[in-house]
Amino acid sequence: MLKHQEFGWLFILVLLFAWPVNSSTVSAEEVNQDTLMAQRHYKKEVQFAVSDPIKRLARFTYNSGYQFSYPEAVRGIYLTGHSAGGSRFDSLLEFVNTTELNAMVIDIKDDHGHLTFRPEQDSPYYDISKPYIDDPEAMMEILEENDIYPIARIVVFKDSVLAEARPELSFQEDGEVWVNNRGEAFVNPYEKEVWEYNLDIAKMAAELGFQDIQFDYVRYPEGFERRDENLDYSQGEYADVDIDGVQKRVEAVTDFVAYAREELEVYGVDVSVDIFGYAATVEETPGIGQNFSRIADNVDVISSMIYPSHWTPHFGIDFPDKEPYRLVDAYSKLENDILAELDNPPLSRPWIQDFDAPWLYSGETFTYGVEEVEAQIRALNENGIDEFLLWNAGNVYTEDVDYTPLD
């Protein structure tokens, strides 16, 4: 038996197919504009009238016009806006096309808070944009032609641009925007206005044709538990919730992720979140507000950052940077156990290391090359994890790697 909602949609579909569309009724351009407006401004509580079936159906059938197929397993590299929009793009395109790689994670909102392409001049995001990607439509067409799966990276709560423009949405100290020891400012995850700001950008990325919206820095600043009572900031709707600061931060971060997935559902994109690898080793991270299981329960893809260089001694490994296979193998087993406890676990697509970490060494630096990259992939594969993303901040990746070592 059809549910009431299903019957309603059947009625609308029949009505649409019987609708006499001609040049005097509505143009293709007008339908497209209605679709875009419906997508950009739709909120869950808004209901389109049945008397306007084109707009009502548009809420569920957004189509960017591109045809991307999901690979057998996503194997991707990271590109900054500079690389995606500059001369490096051609060489990285060739690199992917001549390997078993098949995806690109491209900055759409970068680590400073800039949009990496220019929207229309009347866009509220025009002033925070940079023309790194001069022609995003042309870039997407190239990705489509080369069958490269596009993932949009959006840095959420690390955002110096928004913090400086709107200090009240950030954390302040002595009347000034607080920054960490790298000079980076964060905006406040308790603030729903910050959520909407980032989701509007995510929707722009979906409209450009990206198939996966990857949120990074979905957290509070590192070590926040040591300074939370010394900074000035609002707790918004969480102020009167009767739980401690650690739990409030977990609630805010988890709620943002759940809300983002709900808001982006109409676009048919996957929602993925980058998360610290060590978050899987604790019940919840006390400062940054990341609870691995709860975030994983609200995304389509979980991308743990498991770079061996970023671990202190762990899993019985004294110097993880020098033992990439052991580190990734041990982590994968732990993550698999946690995800197995969820009713609907997300796909695991970890970030792995393709860079050296000279800051760890006083003498000669341990070098990452073919053997070290393949060791990480092999450890993932042996634990049933077939997808991965390669991180190198400079977008310079190791040549001659076999990205399918178990095939």
Q: List, for residues 217-262, the tens digit of each pLDDT value.
A: 999 999 999 999 999 999 999 999 999 999 999 999 999 999 999 9
What pLDDT does residue 407 have? 61
Say whether both 33 and 121 belong to one domain. Answer: no
The answer, yes or no, to whether residue 30 has pLDDT greater than 90, is no
Over range 371-377, report the average pLDDT: 98
Say whether both 254 and 279 belong to one domain. Answer: yes
Residue 153 sits in a domain of what CATH number?
3.20.20.80
Say whether both 132 and 52 belong to one domain. Answer: no
Say whether both 302 and 276 belong to one domain. Answer: yes
Cα three-residue angle 285-201-68, rounded to 5 degrees: 100
Q: Is residue 154 part of a domain?
A: yes
Q: Are 157 and 218 in contact (CB under 8 A)?
A: yes
Cβ burial, residue 82 (10 Å; 0-12/13-18/19+): middle
What pLDDT does residue 406 have? 76
Identify the bridge partners of residue 106 per DSSP, sorted by sequence position: 79, 152
pLDDT tens for 54-78 read 434 444 557 888 999 999 999 999 9
Residue 153: pLDDT band with limits 50, 70, 90? very high
Q: Structure tokens of 336? A: 């698999």
Q: Is residue 293 part of a domain?
A: yes
What pLDDT does residue 4 have? 38
What pLDDT does residue 389 have? 98
Q: Is residue 151 part of a domain?
A: yes
CA distances from 174 to 190, 220, 232 (A): 20, 19, 8
Cβ burial, residue 111 (10 Å; 0-12/13-18/19+): middle
Over range 14-31, report the average pLDDT: 38
Say whether both 42 and 88 belong to one domain. Answer: no
CA distances from 234 to 82, 190, 222, 237 (A): 35, 7, 18, 9
What pLDDT does residue 157 have? 98
By three-state DSSP, how is residue 352 classified? Answer: strand
Say whether both 9 and 109 belong to one domain. Answer: no
What pLDDT does residue 52 have? 43
Say whether both 46 and 11 belong to one domain. Answer: yes
Say whether both 365 and 236 belong to one domain. Answer: yes
Give how far the C-alpha of residue 276 lies from the chain's centroid of Cα atoms, to the nearest Å.
13
What pLDDT does residue 60 have? 53
Say whether both 268 and 120 belong to one domain. Answer: yes
Per mean pLDDT, which range of 25-39, 141-155, 372-386, 388-402 is the poorest?
Answer: 25-39
Say whether both 169 and 273 belong to one domain. Answer: yes
Q: Is residue 404 part of a domain?
A: no
Say whether both 95 and 40 belong to one domain. Answer: no
Q: Is residue 85 part of a domain?
A: yes
d(Cα 88, Cα 78) in Å, to the nearest integer?
12
Q: Which residues of 247-259 are buried (b: 16+ CB within 10 A; e: fewer)?
A: ebbbbbbbbbbbb
The separation between the first and the last C-alpha atoms of the chain, rounded to the nearest angstrom, is 46
% of the chain at pLDDT higher than 70: 85
Residue 284: pLDDT band with limits 50, 70, 90? confident
Q: Which domain holds residue 49?
A: 4-58
Q: Are 314 and 261 in contact (CB under 8 A)?
A: no
Q: Are 376 and 324 in contact (CB under 8 A)?
A: yes
Say whether both 93 and 125 belong to one domain. Answer: yes
Looking at the structure of the chain, the number of domains it has is 2
Q: Is residue 403 part of a domain?
A: no
Q: Is residue 135 part of a domain?
A: yes
128 contacts: CB under 8 Å, gap ≥ 6: 113, 114, 115, 161, 162, 165
d(Cα 137, Cα 146) in Å, to the nearest integer?
14
Helices 192-208 and 28-41 sit at what angle, rounded to 10 degrees?
150
Average pLDDT, the chain: 88
Q: Is residue 402 part of a domain?
A: no
